[in-house]
Amino acid sequence: LSDTYQLNNGEKIPVVGFGTWQTPDGEVAEKSVIAAIDAGYRHIDTAAIYKNEGSVGRGIANASVAREALFVTTKLWNDNVTYEQAAAAIDESLARLGLDYLDLYLIHWPNPERIRETIGYEKRNAEVWRAMEDAVTAGKIKSIGVSNFRPHHIDALLKTAKIVPAVNQLYINPSDQQEEVVAYNKAHGILTEAYSPLGRGELLEVPAIVEIAEKYGKSTAQVVLKWSLQKGYLPLPKSVTPSRIIENGQLFDFDLSDDELTAIDQLHGVGSLTRDPDTIDH
Ligand code: A2P
């Protein structure tokens, strides 16, 4: 869990992150962050809209490792459109988390409805990106990136960006592989992070995965997460259950064969696990 990828700016990022989407604020979030750090995770992923930054921050403060040993990501919510709003949102996230710097800060969505219907994604993303670049210069953020961006959103951003996004965080699991965006990220040196890497827990009874899991004596969750890692992605499994938090980090005592990776690749579109309609941005 302390293995790292190197980002395009030279910073190192632990290869598995602890996801906190839908983790309720309060004791649950705080305790699950502490459980994750105790289990060896060194990378925590939250967002302003998850409304749990305060509790995540308390978990970080009360954990057994120093802040510098951790990699913390949060995200800019959709209602921030201007430079000034983005600059303020960064300071507010820092305050809620109780941190004096972020390791990674992402634009959460490229083109939500309210932006589509007003200033448009090109102008908005250029503006907030400038605020994020200035926060890097000011030492408030080490790396900046995007989430849910498709190639045309990044192409537009690159017209004015001084810093190339370090990561693009996407909904990726065997049932929804987003191959076009993944290829684009790779061609531009952008690391692909995978949220909901377990298909929100719904991929865990697919027979092809069960068969592979039985062969290695691992759980189906571990097989799906290993697939994500061996594809070169950075999975962000979410759990509030201590035993699952531990299980999801135990990925380094087996390797999937090329044939097994290919078998899992074939699961694209399996079941009803397509993306939420609102995760397909325009
Ligand atoms: P819980 O948080 O109650 O433990 P994803 O990361 O794809 O969004 O999936 C998160 C969902 O999968 C949550 O409902 C979580 O439940 C569940 N989950 C996480 N890890 C495991 C696991 N190892 N086995 C089964 N379910 C899991």
Over the chain (282 residues), what is each successive 10-residue block's mean pLDDT?
Answer: 95 98 93 97 97 97 96 97 98 98 98 92 98 98 98 98 98 95 98 94 90 98 98 96 97 98 94 57 66
Instruction: Point out the catalytic residue in the list 41, 50, 121, 184.
Output: 50
What digits encode the pLDDT tens for the residues 184-194?
Answer: 999 999 999 99
Nearest CA to ligand 1 atom 19: 239
Enumerate domains of the chain plus CATH numbers.
4-201+228-241 (3.20.20.100)
User: Ligand 1: which residues within 6 Å by Cβ?
Assistant: 19, 196-201, 204, 219, 221, 237-241, 244, 247-248
5 is catalytic: no
Of 210, 218, 211, 224, which is closest to residue 254 (Cα–Cα)? 218
Beta bridge partners of 44: 18, 72
To test the pocket of ligand 1, the residue of 173, 238, 240 to mutate (highest count of ligand atoms within 8 Å of its CB) is: 238
What digits encode the pLDDT tens for the residues 105-127?
Answer: 999 999 999 899 999 999 999 99
Alpha carbons 126 and 121: distance in angstroms, whole number: 8
Was 108 annotated as part of a binding site? yes
**Exposure b/e, 117-148, CB count within 10 A at least 16 = b:** eeeebbebbebbbbbbbbbbeeebbbbbbbbb
Could you tell me the pTM of the whole model? 0.96
